[in-house]
Amino acid sequence: MSKIIIIGAGGVGSVVAHKCAQLSSVFTEIVLASRTLAKCDAIAASVKERTGVIIKTAQIDADLVPMTVALLKEENPSLLINVALPYQDLALMDACLETGVHYLDTANYEPPEEAKFEYHWQWAYQDKFEKAGLKALLGSGFDPGVTNVFTAWALKHHFDTIEYLDIIDVNGGDHGQAFATNFNPEINIREVTARCRHWEDGAFQETPALSTSATFTCPEGLGEFSIYRMYHEEMESLTKHIPTIKRAQFWMSFSDAYIKHLEVLQNVGMTRIDEVEYHGQKIIPLQFLKAVLPDPGDLGKSTTGKTCIGCIIRGIKDGEEKAVYVYNICDHEQCFEEVGSQGVSYTTGVPAMIGAKLLLEGTWATQAGVWNMEQNDPDPFMADLEAHGLPWTCIELSPEQARTFSVAEA
């Protein structure tokens, strides 16, 4: 049906390539382009071995709009899936506009010099995409992505109004390393060390990074985890599109070892994103740190355990207070067996493939313009999650359980 181009041959790009290749009735031709051609070729070889599908590869610097434009003109795809880094979002959107290609990503734009990831830069493209008759689907990963869809689905089927939203991202996996990040270390550490913002009383409230924590007991016997409140971009679009939300918070689990290492790295200045002079050369400490940390794309073979990501949603139905918890549990080892990647890359790559599928089929993003996930009908996406490797569960909680994050064991 459609030719696509995937930009970014990292952990997530590999999963997107494998999952799209599994669905060759929709994705009839696949091109994978990234900064390092050898990484594209290694993924292409794995895709061929696992699915028999041959994908084309190309080298590209996605920061350079003319270079992307030239590649898009040569390949003429219907859709560009951006799973490079958030820094490339605007350059890739510009290239899509110039060549008439639809656009999809999994993380919102962030300027390299400031760890401030916000939608306003990409929302500003609304008119341009509308005028060009093109569609852009933003944040089609797990969080953002599936968490937006879980919230929209809960509103459609369980609530008249949603008032409280807690998004809880637990990685109960063990990669066997003293310190490693689940996805790109530079982006991950910028996100985790940024000042926390959560939505309350009609505005984002700021608190120091990782200064608020709680304990969360995962369902299905996964155990108890320390979770830390932090800023995450889906709160910005969800509170805009579901204005009845009084409070939205995002929580992520971190092990004591992760927190200990992060504290030391911060204290010694290794997480700085400004330039420092070293032996006559300018380096950014966080980028140097990324170079010595394990590559998240290589963690799959050693990672065991499961992820558990979901939304605790409290609101009103028929005049009564009501609460639900919608979640997915994903097994790292099963992901590795299927596509050769760990669960965090898998839980991001599968929703990117589903968003692309629904956009190309015309089910989602039904008109030209820039779309967030929750602006679309959640039902087909929820059905595709079930069909393509990320089954989900919805359980009803008492309002008290929702307030205290206690999920009763089945």
Q: Which residues sit at the interface with ligand NDP, rule CB under 6 A?
A: 8-13, 34-36, 39, 60-63, 83-86, 88, 106-107, 141-145, 183-184, 187, 296-297, 348
Q: State in angstroms the smallest separation of the CB of 104 from ligand NDP.
A: 11
CB 45 within 8 A of CB 71: no
The residues near 310 (Cβ < 8 Å, ≥ 6 apart) are 147, 150, 167, 168, 325, 326, 327, 328, 392
With respect to ligand NDP, which residue has the nearer C-beta, 184 or 239? 184
Does the CA dihedral 142-46-67-75 come out positive or negative?
A: negative
Closest approach, Cβ 86 to ligand NDP, in A, equals 5
- Which C-beta is closer to ligand NDP: that of 191 or that of 397? 191
Identify which of residues 297 and 300 has a Cβ nearer to ligand NDP in the complex: 297
Least Å from the CB of residue 57 to ligand NDP: 12
Cβ burial of 32 (10 Å; 0-12, 13-18, 19+) is buried
For residue 156, which phi and psi values (nearest 5 degrees)? -65, -40
Give the nearer residue to ligand NDP in terms of CB position, either 312 or 402. Answer: 312
249 vs 342 by CB, closer to ligand NDP: 342
Nearby residues of 360 by Cβ (< 8 Å), 6 or more positions away: 1, 2, 4, 26, 27, 78, 79, 102
Report how far apart the first and last C-alpha atoms of the chain are (Å, whole number).
43
Cα separation, 295 vs 95, whole angstroms: 29
| Nearest distance in Å: CB 244, ligand NDP | 24
**136 in Cβ contact with 369 (< 8 Å):** yes
CB of 307 to ligand NDP, least distance (A): 10
- Give the span between the Cα atoms of 309 and 251, in whole angstroms: 10
Q: Kindly tell me which of 104 and 134 has the beta carbon lying closer to ligand NDP.
A: 104
In this chain, which residue has its C-beta nearest to ligand NDP?
A: 10
> Residue 185 Cβ, how far from ligand NDP at the closest point, in Å?
8
Distance from C-alpha of 288 to C-alpha of 360, rounded to nearest angstrom: 39
CA 391 from chain centre, in angstroms, equals 17
CB of 111 to ligand NDP, least distance (A): 14
Task: Report the nearest approach of ligand NDP to the CB of residue 410 (Å).
Answer: 26
Pick 9 or 165: Cβ nearer ligand NDP: 9
**Dist. CA 154–CA 94, nearest whole Å:** 34
Both tokens of 10, joined, read 């990292």
User: Please, what is the Cα angle at 206 between 160 and 235, to 5 degrees?
Assistant: 35
In whole angstroms, give the CA distance from residue 162 to residue 313: 7
Beta carbon of residue 342, minimum distance to ligand NDP (angstroms, whole number): 10
Closest separation in Å from C-beta 142 to ligand NDP: 4
The closest of 323, 319, 321, 343 to 394, measured between CA atoms, is: 323
Peptide bond into 144 cis (omega under 30): yes
CB of 16 to ligand NDP, least distance (A): 9
Give dist(CA 116, CA 236) in Å, integer.
Answer: 12
Q: What is the CA radius of gyration of the chain?
A: 20
CB neighbours (10 Å) of residue 402?
A: 22
- Choice between 68 and 78, CB closer to ligand NDP: 68
For ligand NDP, which is the closer residue by CB, 59 or 207? 59
**CB nearer ligand NDP, residue 21 or residue 397:** 21
* Cβ nearer to ligand NDP, comparing 10 with 310: 10
